[in-house]
Chain A
């Protein structure tokens, strides 16, 4: 059985994490699955302008950076009950399909398998969301997003980042962001409050975050038929990370 690298970065500054994220994609250590928990922070999608998407006056306590993939803001509150993951894989049309939505679906399958393990009715909602719907419901009626994901590609490899919410402060997210009404018009929901959910709410109790990560790791191994072996960044990746750090800390990158 193939062995892929696994790293748990723990609680991290998001600027350091985004530099390591890019270094893993552009390094040569092979397929890797990794976790991290962000300190209080906001990550902008590649095409988002900070002054448009954020209520900057309310973001003063947050570390803000930008990632190399598209999609929307990733917001991490003080609760720290969010599992963030990354996957770097070689696009091979089997485990990691060339088709963009197909590859999102494949990786999001790990999250779906994890949620099903906890007895939830989870599904993939293209392009990049995992939703939970009440049982006995067909389609995506009543669907609430529990995980957002973002992918980029580089020289035949993909990097996907995503988050699984265990708890989430919606009111705080609304306070720091400028999300217009248009965002929800086609989702048949009145507001973001109805469109999001998290594991603690769905289960009616708190699960240990390490336990959930353990399930995700096992579901990853099952889905890709690989054994994950704990490792660390190589010297080359560390050097690359160090060279990328100034970008993730710079106002030119974040507020461009």
Chain B
């Protein structure tokens, strides 16, 4: 990632802190990284969420839809953290100037 273009967002869910690092190109998510002290089972499914988010339009509705779909498909449980918490963290990054 080119550090100059990375946007950062922080959001705290009941289950932990979610820090997002996002690069945008032509209105789409070019690259994304998330770091945090939340819990999510099964753990490996987290990388599927990240993978699915790459290349999609940087819009709240689309981001939320992709995360929810991956939760359902991978049977994800994340106590104290909802799909909308990840969306919120990413949206905060998108609003970062």
A residues in contact (CB < 8 Å) with B: 45-49, 52-53, 68-73, 100-101, 126-128, 150-153, 180, 182-183, 185-186
Contact = CB atoms under 8 A, between A and B. Distances in A.
A182 B35 CA distance: 14
A182 B15 contact: no
B35 A48 contact: yes
Contact of A70 (B11, B14, B19, B43): B43
- Interface residues of A: mostly helix, strand, loop or mixed? loop
A71 B39 CA distance: 6
B57 interface: no
A72 B80 contact: no
Contacts, number: 71
B35 A49 contact: yes
Majority SS at the chain B contact face: strand
Nearest to A46: B43
Contacts of B80: 126-127
A195 to B, nearest CB: 14
Nearest to A153: B41
Could you say which of A68, A73, A127, A152 has the most chain B C-beta atoms within 10 Å of its C-beta?
A: A127
Contacts of B35: 47-49, 52-53
